[in-house]
Amino acid sequence: MQHLEPKAAHELLKANPDAIFIDCRSEMEYFFVGHPLGAIHVAWSDGPNWEINPQFVSHVKKAAAVDRPIVLICRSGNRSIDAGRALEEAGFTQIYNVLHGFEGELGENHHRNEKTGWRHDGLPWEQC
């Protein structure tokens, strides 16, 4: 798995139309917090008990062959690492993790989007 800063991940996606961009946050995060433009939603874990989605790998396999580039993003870049490892174990060969995720690390006042992340870097996103 390779780790990319948000801007580098955005450039990879623009340069490689075969890449699949997966937002692996919860359904509520994806719809209510917003998500990167072009990202498809496949939750790694979701409420109410935050259990790992046993269908995660099979859902990704429906979207992409194992040799296509897969770019994963979550809130802060941690869940996407676990999701990427699961995909690598399933035979996917080109996994990219977006460092700092969509919202980035917590700032001094315990708020996100202040220091790092997809939104902080001004990359394209939308909210449903």
CATH code for the domain of 118: 3.40.250.10
The total number of structural domains in the chain stands at 1
Identify the sign of the CA torsion 119, 27, 83, 67. Answer: negative
Tell whether pTM > 0.75.
yes
Strand ranges in 5-127 using DSSP code E only, listed in sequence order: 20-23, 35-36, 40-41, 45-46, 51-52, 70-73, 95-98, 125-126
Domain with 92 in it: 2-126
**pLDDT tens, residue order, the chain (128 aa):** 999 999 999 999 999 999 999 999 999 999 999 999 999 999 999 988 899 999 999 999 999 888 999 999 999 989 999 999 999 999 999 999 999 999 988 777 877 777 799 999 999 999 87
